[in-house]
């Protein structure tokens, strides 16, 4: 009996030992397997990103032959960009940022909302961090206390140093004529826009009552024009929509944004009648966004500080106005609206413009230091190449096509890299904003710009981490759509999209007008 009991005890201990070894071996095997998968995934990601970075810096396609005003790139075609080389340290930094954002997205599980609806220009932070004391100002407690800056000027709240740096910058870049122009400063170009409408529509003292002047702009127009025009419910002017549809024989104001927001094309007036006045919004006519082919020479030109340097929070803009009376009426509006413009903001803007011009002229900068506009151009080039590659690989979208032109500032041919991407959803996707919104990418629908919902505007100006995350989410979104949401679409050998299980072809012909 004792022997049986002893054997039973031994038997149970042996079983426990065997069970313990089995469990530990299973756990060890699982750990090794999962660790191997993790390492393999990281290795594959590194290879993909490394090759992708090489592709960015080596891919150069011939000049596209389609007409710029009619072209909209096929989702399976990539138009080349400029041949300016990217520094090796910038490529390495971009690769690290891309890898970091990839891991961040994996950890986030795709839950982060990517808001690219607004044009918040924070992408140039890296440059300004590197300028140190050159871009720093000190405002003492007793300075800038008065309302007045220059009583001899039409715009008497314009700081003389700021006016000097505006003139210097336009001369350095060669993008606008400042000679024989009055400079009117505003709290961003938004206030200047309101001031222009007020100045151009205000009746003369002896004039008879008149109907509100029509304000028009060709589609796709800047999305804020309608709301800004009608915001004050003024009896002096009213929004009248697409300039192509304007046929009234009466005074009008035409707004020309060039390069255009949202699509990036160079614009000219559409109506072209004797009773109209044209206002040129040149917020993006700077070398990082478009080739500077000649200095703009118009009666009324608006500029905003935020899109030049990225300092949107400073809230500064200016107008170059040929007619003194128009400049005086604009100044009157700003006085009634805000009693002038912040001197502190003008001082800061003057300092930053001084840095930008100095970097171009190498005034106070080492000869090998990077010019601001060259830095910004490289940044925009990298981003557009990455987005174009993602669009080409997706097969679901298309982007505008731009022709390179000779840029007087850089002294060579460059390709436009607009501040916004005018993306079109192709095939069966009718509401592009909703489609991307389902994947937590917030964009602005084409409806806000007077066109169909198949278009969206995407900001290209956010921080690197946000843009990198956007590109990865964009690819994940399209991969998911190809597999599930759109009937297992895949790229066909003929360059279009082909639907499995049938013979329906989705040929993406350029149809943008």
Same domain assignment for residues 212 and 290? yes
For the stretch 151-172, pLDDT in tens is: 999 999 999 999 999 999 999 9
> Do the domain assignments include residue 443?
yes
Higher model confidence: residue 1 or residue 332? 332
Which helix (H) or strand (E) is 407 found in, with range?
Answer: strand 405-407
User: Could you tell me the pLDDT band of residue 403, with boundaries at 50, 70 and 90?
Assistant: very high
Q: Evaluate whether 194 touches 186 at the Cβ level (below 8 Å).
A: no
For the stretch 357-370, pLDDT in tens is: 999 887 555 555 68
Phi, psi angle pair for 222, to nearest 5°: -55, 130
Same domain assignment for residues 253 and 236? yes
Same domain assignment for residues 295 and 163? yes
Looking at the predicted structure, is the pLDDT value of residue 95 above 80?
no
Polymer length in residues for the chain: 513
Same domain assignment for residues 170 and 305? yes
Nearest by Cα to 412 from 87, 85, 19, 139: 85
Higher model confidence: residue 14 or residue 248? 248
H/E/C letters for each residue in 418-465? CCEEEEEECCCCCCHHHHHHCCCEECEEHHHHCCCCCEEEEECCCCHH
Looking at the predicted structure, is the pLDDT value of residue 389 above 50?
yes
Looking at the predicted structure, is the pLDDT value of residue 35 above 80?
no
Q: Evaluate whether 324 touches 182 at the Cβ level (below 8 Å).
A: yes
What does the alpha-carbon distance between residue 456 and residue 441 come to, in Å, rounded to a whole number?
11
Looking at the predicted structure, is the pLDDT value of residue 17 above 90?
no
> Do the domain assignments include residue 12?
no
| Beta pairing class for 455-459 and 444-445 | antiparallel
Q: Tell me what pLDDT residue 236 has.
A: 95
Q: Tell me what pLDDT residue 256 has.
A: 99
> Do the domain assignments include residue 428?
yes
User: Could you tell me the pLDDT band of residue 479, with boundaries at 50, 70 and 90?
Assistant: confident
Q: Which of 76-90, 251-265, 274-288 has the lowest mean pLDDT?
A: 76-90
Same domain assignment for residues 377 and 429? yes
Q: Tell me what pLDDT residue 360 has.
A: 87
Which helix (H) or strand (E) is 252 found in, with range?
Answer: strand 252-257
Looking at the predicted structure, is the pLDDT value of residue 512 above 70?
no
> Do the domain assignments include residue 155?
yes
> Do the domain assignments include residue 480?
yes
Q: Tell me what pLDDT residue 311 has.
A: 98
Q: Any idea what the CATH number is for the domain that residue 120 is in?
A: 3.90.1150.10
Same domain assignment for residues 402 and 427? yes
Q: Which of 166-180, 196-210, 328-342 has the lowest mean pLDDT?
A: 196-210
Q: Which of 19-23, 48-52, 96-100 has the lowest mean pLDDT?
A: 48-52
Rounded mean pLDDT of the chain? 80
Task: Write the CB contacts of 205 (distance below 8 Å, at least 6 apart in sequence).
Answer: none
Same domain assignment for residues 387 and 333? no
Domain endpoint, select from 326, 341, 361:
361
H/E/C letters for each residue in 274-328? CCEEEEEECCCCCCCCCCCCCCECCCEEEEECHHHHCCHHHCCEEEEECCHHHHH
Q: Tell me what pLDDT residue 362 has.
A: 73
Provide mean pLDDT across the span 429-443. Answer: 96
What does the alpha-carbon distance between residue 407 and residue 374 come to, in Å, rounded to a whole number?
12
Looking at the predicted structure, is the pLDDT value of residue 205 above 50?
yes
Nearest by Cα to 90 from 127, 122, 128, 46: 127
Same domain assignment for residues 212 and 255? yes
Same domain assignment for residues 238 and 296? yes
- Domain tally, the chain: 2
Domain endpoint, select from 361, 383, 405:
361
H/E/C letters for each residue in 230-241? HCCCCCCEEEEE
Same domain assignment for residues 171 and 116? no
Using CA atoms, how far residue 149 sits from 32, 157, 484, in Å, is 72, 5, 63
> Do the domain assignments include residue 141?
no
Q: Which of 144-148, 223-227, 354-358, 503-507 has the lowest mean pLDDT?
A: 503-507
Same domain assignment for residues 381 and 493? yes
Nearest by Cα to 353 from 418, 399, 303, 387: 303
Look-up of token digits 């399976």: 76
The residues pairing with 407 across neighbouring beta strands, listed in sequence order, are 412
Looking at the predicted structure, is the pLDDT value of residue 477 above 50?
yes
Nearest by Cα to 388 from 376, 400, 379, 378: 400
Q: Any idea what the CATH number is for the domain that residue 172 is in?
A: 3.40.640.10
Same domain assignment for residues 423 and 312? no
Looking at the predicted structure, is the pLDDT value of residue 209 above 80?
no
For the stretch 220-274, pLDDT in tens is: 999 999 999 999 999 999 999 999 999 999 999 999 999 999 999 999 999 999 9
Look-up of token digits 């150069």: 60
Domain endpoint, select from 311, 328, 361:
361
C-alpha torsion sign, points 224, 512, 265, 297: negative
Which helix (H) or strand (E) is 499 found in, with range?
Answer: strand 497-499
Q: Evaluate whether 258 touches 222 at the Cβ level (below 8 Å).
A: no
What does the alpha-carbon distance between residue 308 and residue 349 come to, in Å, rounded to a whole number?
11
User: Could you tell me the pLDDT band of residue 111, with boundaries at 50, 70 and 90?
Assistant: confident
> Do the domain assignments include residue 44?
no
Provide mean pLDDT across the span 338-352. Answer: 98
Look-up of token digits 């400063």: 185
Which helix (H) or strand (E) is 336 found in, with range?
Answer: helix 324-338
The residues pairing with 489 across neighbouring beta strands, listed in sequence order, are 499
Task: Write the CB contacts of 97 (distance below 8 Å, at least 6 apart in sequence).
Answer: 464, 465, 468
Report the predicted TM-score, pTM, of the whole model to 2 decimal places. Answer: 0.76
211: Cα within 13 Å, side-chain hemisphere = 9
> Do the domain assignments include residue 513?
no
Q: Which of 48-57, 304-313, 495-504 has the lowest mean pLDDT?
A: 495-504
Which domain does 318 fall in, by range? 146-361
Q: Tell me what pLDDT residue 24 has.
A: 55
Looking at the predicted structure, is the pLDDT value of residue 468 above 80?
yes
């Amino acid at each position: 009996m004792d022997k049986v009991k002893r054997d039973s005890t031994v038997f149970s201990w042996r079983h426990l030992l065997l069970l313990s070894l089995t469990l530990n071996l299973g756990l060890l095997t699982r750990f090794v397997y999962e660790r191997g998968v993790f390492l393999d995934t990281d290795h594959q990601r590194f290879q993909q990103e490394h090759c992708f970075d090489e592709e960015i810096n080596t891919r150069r396609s011939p000049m596209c032959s389609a007409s710029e005003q009619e072209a909209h790139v096929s989702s399976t075609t990539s138009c080349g960009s400029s041949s300016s080389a990217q520094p090796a340290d910038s490529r390495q930094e971009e690769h690290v940022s891309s890898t970091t954002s990839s891991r961040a997205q994996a950890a986030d599980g795709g839950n982060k909302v990517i808001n690219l609806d607004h044009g918040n220009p924070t992408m140039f932070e890296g440059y300004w961090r590197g300028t140190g004391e050159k871009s720093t100002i000190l405002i003492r407690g007793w300075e800038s206390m008065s309302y007045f800056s220059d009583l001899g000027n039409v715009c008497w709240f314009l700081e003389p140093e700021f006016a000097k740096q505006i003139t210097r910058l336009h001369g350095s870049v060669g993008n606008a004529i400042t000679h024989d122009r009055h400079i009117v400063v505003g709290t961003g170009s938004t206030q200047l826009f309101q001031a222009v409408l007020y100045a151009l529509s205000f009746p003369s003292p002896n004039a008879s009552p008149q109907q509100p002047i029509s304000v028009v702009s060709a589609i796709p127009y800047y999305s804020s024009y309608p709301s800004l025009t009608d915001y004050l419910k003024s009896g002096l002017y009213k929004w009248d929509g697409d300039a192509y549809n304007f046929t009234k024989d009466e005074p009008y104001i035409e707004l020309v944004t060039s390069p255009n927001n949202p699509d990036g094309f160079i614009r000219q007036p559409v109506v072209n009648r004797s009773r109209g006045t044209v206002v040129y919004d040149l917020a993006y006519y700077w070398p990082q966004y478009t080739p500077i082919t000649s200095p703009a020479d118009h009666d009324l030109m608006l500029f905003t500080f935020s899109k030049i340097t990225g300092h949107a929070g400073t809230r500064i803009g200016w107008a170059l106005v040929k007619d003194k009376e128009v400049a005086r009426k604009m100044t009157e509006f700003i006085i009634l609206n805000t009693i002038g413009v912040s001197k502190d903001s003008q001082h800061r803007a003057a300092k930053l413009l001084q840095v930008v011009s100095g970097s171009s002229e190498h005034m106070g900068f080492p000869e090998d230091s990077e010019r601001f506009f060259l830095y910004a151009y490289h940044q925009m080039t990298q981003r557009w190449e990455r987005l174009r590659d993602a669009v080409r690989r997706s097969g679901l979208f298309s982007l505008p096509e731009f022709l390179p032109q000779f840029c007087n500032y850089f002294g060579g041919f460059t390709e436009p890299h607009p501040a916004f991407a005018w993306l079109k959803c192709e095939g069966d996707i009718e509401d592009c904003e909703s489609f991307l919104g389902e994947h937590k990418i917030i964009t602005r629908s084409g409806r806000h710009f007077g066109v169909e919902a198949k278009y969206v505007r995407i900001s290209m100006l956010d921080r690197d981490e946000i843009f990198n995350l956007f590109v990865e989410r964009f690819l994940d979104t399209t991969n998911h759509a190809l597999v599930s949401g759109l009937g297992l679409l895949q790229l066909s050998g003929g360059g279009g999209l082909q639907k499995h299980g049938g013979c329906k072809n989705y040929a993406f012909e350029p149809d943008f007008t």
